[in-house]
Amino acid sequence: MSRTYLDHAATTPMVPEAVAAMTAELTRVGNPSAAHGSGRAARRVLEDARELIAARVGADPAEVVLTSGGTESDNLAVKGAWFARRDRRRDRVVTSAVEHHAVLDSAAWLGAAEGATTVLLPVDGTGRVPEAAVDAAVDERTAVVSVMAANNEVGTRQPLAAVARRAAEVGAVSHSDAVQAVGHVPVDFAASGLDLLTFTAHKLGGPVGVGALLARRETALAAVQHGGGQEREIRSGTFDVAAVAGFAAAVEVAVRDLEAEEVRLRALRAELVAGALAAVPGAVLRGTLDPERSLPGVTNLGFPGCAADAVLMVLDAAGLDCSAGSACSAGVPRPSHVLTAMGLADDDARSSVRFSLGRGSTGADVAALLAVLPDAVARARAATAVG
Alpha-carbon distance of 324 to 152, in angstroms, equals: 12
176 φ, ψ to 5°?
A: -135, 130
Q: How far is CA 170 from CA 143, 160, 195, in A?
A: 9, 16, 13
Closest CA relative to residue 375, chosen from 320, 328, 326: 320
DSSP label at 128? P
Beta-bridge partner residues of 298: 356
Torsion of CA 110, 111, 112, 113, to 10 degrees: 40
Q: Which of 62, 191, 274, 328 is catalytic?
A: 328
Closest CA relative to residue 60, chosen from 50, 69, 68: 50
CB 352 within 8 A of CB 300: yes
DSSP label at 201? G
209 φ, ψ to 5°?
A: 100, 10
Beta-bridge partner residues of 4: 320
Which contacts qualify for 342-348: CB closer than 8 Å, 24 or more apart? 342/98, 342/123, 342/124, 342/125, 342/126, 342/127, 342/154, 342/286, 343/125, 344/286, 344/302, 347/304, 348/302, 348/304
32 φ, ψ to 5°?
A: -65, -10
Helices (H), 60-159: 70-85, 101-114, 131-137
| Plot region of 232 (φ>0 → left; ψ -120 to 50 → alpha; else → beta) | left
Which segments within the chain are labelled E, that is strand?
Answer: 4-5, 64-67, 92-96, 117-121, 142-146, 173-177, 196-200, 211-215, 284-286, 298-302, 320-321, 323-324, 328-329, 332-333, 352-356
- Asked if 328 is an active-site residue, the reply is yes
Q: How far is CA 173 from CA 6, 86, 98, 130, 369, in A?
A: 36, 11, 19, 19, 43
Which residues participate in catalysis according to the annotation? 328
